[in-house]
Amino acid sequence: MDQAHAKRRRRDLIVAAVLACIAALVPLFVKDVYVQNIMVLTLMYAALSQAWNILGGYCGQISLGHALYFGLGAYTTALLFTKFGVLPWFGMLGGGLISAVIALALGYPTFRLRGHYFVIATIVIAEIGFLLFHNWDWAGAALGIDIPVRGDSWAKFQFTRSKLPYYYFALVFCCVAWLVTWWLENSKWGYWWRAVKDNPEAAESLGVVVFNSKMGAAAVSAFLTAIGGAFYAMFVSYIDPESVMTFQFSLLMALPAVLGGIGTLWGPVLGAVILIPLTELTRSFIGGSGRGVDLILYGTVIVLISLARPEGLIGLFSRRPASKGAPR
Amino acid sequence: MTTATIIQSLASGLLMGLLYGLVAVGLALIFGLMDVTNFAHGEFLMLAMYISFFLFAFFAIDPLLSAPLVGAAMFVFGAVAYLFIIRFAMRAKANIGMVQIFTTFGLAILMRGLAQYFFTPDYRSINVSWLGGKTISFGGIFLPVPQLVGALVSLAAFGALYFFIKKTDFGRALEATREDAGAVALVGIDKNRVFALGWGLGSALVGLAGAVMAMFFYIYPDVGASFALIAYVTVALGGFGSVFGAFAGGIIVGLVEATTALIMPPSLKAVGIYAVYLLVVFIRPRGLFGSI
């Protein structure tokens, strides 16, 4: 069993490396800027959903307030850059650390809550963040922040002539998020999380420090989410509370993992690859009419997938259906 | 800030709170019955408001008169939604919590899209109902009549719901299923019928709320979203599964909102509600009236 497990992990790593190489070569053949844009977003959401998956999937703490961390990453980077000229790299790191600290501070009271009380607390906390930024004049309030172009360079993380640098950063970000998850999955924390998710009381009685392992998951998850926010701010070069901190956004981060398969390594990647192009294409091809056809399609797909494949689409790829496996 | 202003806003807060309670009580009922949070609850409210609007626009039926019709229509809608969608979400063997969240959430997006498609994103309002624009005063406190009637409808609905749950066979079946769905099947009660009835009843209540609210709120495809979060907070504040909790939670939320609006910019008034919610659940993780 252990040998099979090690083999599976090695196989995952090889598959990931092959996929990453293919993804790195794709822009050589796909020159269309619109398509490249979708690819950047897909990679970004794959990484964000992977980050969400650490807390929501592996640890079983369903947060629908991750927009808060995303927004904090975006705002820290944008504010430091526009107000003080601090390079986005430091903003990115700073935003990540701020988010991790805030996740720990919020985890302290919220992890005592169960089920829907926890879910609603996460929504409400993110909503408070949204309202505060919406009213915070120094941070641009409802108008948001326009990030000025200061020349193309990796140092300033601004590229006006080509989307490729953003693409490669998103690819690296996605790989890092995947690797972190891959590594954590097999760590002490990873086992703790699954124990906490399945049965917190039993885990506690077996000596798992439930609370600490939840805190760890929250900090890692928030840090990675904020990196995504920082990247997004520089990528679109304009942020406002509506575009980075709304509830819709929290859902968009959770959705790929849910559709792909939560608590799995490949679920978020698969979910993002299907969902994000679908979202973007429906939005631009039929959403332009303002008649909501994109929403109709999008909503139908979500309902159908969650009803037809509750364990996520990843179940289609495994030889042993998750639902018929050993009781978990 | 004079005493009169404070009393005035508390009075408006109370009226609003009773409405929040009415929006939330259907959610609490469904949750208590089967442990499912309907994330499309706001969209159910939106649909009810549109039904009320169209009954007024096409047949000139005043929202006050159409309220029972809207309630009945929403009863059917809720039961159908259960039978055709939610029922299947309950069958999931894995990740059941996530499945029901995202199924109802997908339904919410779908409904919003359909509303945009068929009703357009335009803002609509019913401004010429019998009660529109009228106010009455009690000792210097002015209360808008539509809101006052809304609060009365809400009180009546709570009373009727209480009676229904405690005194009728269906109500007792509902209570029994909520206690133990497995045992109920043994005595020949069809669980699916009871759940469908629960969804119908919960939706009828939000239908009633929608009809009343159509008298004094703009009606547009996204209108539900703004009330839905407040409804979830209301239910959780009172304690999931407690119908009385939703009622009390609604009143608290209304009063807190009114108080916050007095001391903070109007755009931040919801912060007070959220802060009170967090405070309550941090002290009592099961809400005010939720059972442990």
Contacts of B274 in chain A (CB under 8 A): 124-125, 127-128
Q: How many residues comprise chain A?
A: 328
CB pairs under 8 A between A and B: 142
- A296-306 pLDDT, tens per residue? 888 888 888 87
Select the residue of B103, B277, B287 nearest A306 (Cβ to Cβ): B103
B2 touches chain A (CB under 8 A): no
Q: Does residue A328 register a pLDDT over 50?
A: no
B58 touches chain A (CB under 8 A): no
Write down the pLDDT at residue A129: 93
Six-digit token string for B4: 């009169």
Under 8 Å between Cβ of A89 and A227: no
- A61-107 pLDDT, tens per residue? 889 999 999 999 999 999 998 888 888 889 899 999 999 999 999 99
Write down the pLDDT at residue A173: 93
Residue of A nearest to B233 (CA): A120
Spell out, as residue ranges, where chain B has pLDDT lower than 50: 292
Contact A296 B110 (CB under 8 A): yes
**Among A131, A247, A298, the residue to mutate for chain B (most B Cβ within 10 A):** A131
Contact A296 B106 (CB under 8 A): no
Query: A53 CA to chain B: closest CA distance, Å?
Result: 12
**Among B30, B101, B220, B264, the residue to mutate for chain A (most A Cβ within 10 A):** B101
Contacts of B240 in chain A (CB under 8 A): 115-117
B260 touches chain A (CB under 8 A): no
Contact A127 B105 (CB under 8 A): no
pLDDT band at A222 (very low <50, low <70, confident <90, very high): very high
Contact A298 B113 (CB under 8 A): yes
Under 8 Å between Cβ of A248 and B95: no
B36 touches chain A (CB under 8 A): no
- In terms of pLDDT, which residue wins out, A178 or B64? A178
Select the residue of B85, B88, B271 nearest A128 (Cβ to Cβ): B271
Write down the pLDDT at residue A323: 42
Taking the C-alpha atoms of residue A256 and residue A272, their distance in angstroms, rounded to an integer, is 5
Write down the pLDDT at residue A288: 57
State the DSSP string of B175-235.
HHHHH-HHHHHHTT--HHHHHHHHHHHHHHHHHHHHHHHTTTS-B-TTHHHHHHHHHHHHH
Q: Which ipTM value was assigned to this complex?
A: 0.85
- In terms of pLDDT, which residue wins out, A197 or A21? A21
Nearest to A92 by CA among A250, A228, A219: A228
Write down the pLDDT at residue A326: 39
Write down the pLDDT at residue B12: 87
Taking the C-alpha atoms of residue A89 and residue A156, their distance in angstroms, rounded to an integer, is 8
Write down the pLDDT at residue A286: 66
For residue B138, the 8-state DSSP code is: E
What percentage of chain A exceeds 70 in pLDDT?
Answer: 94
Q: Does residue A311 register a pLDDT over 70?
A: yes
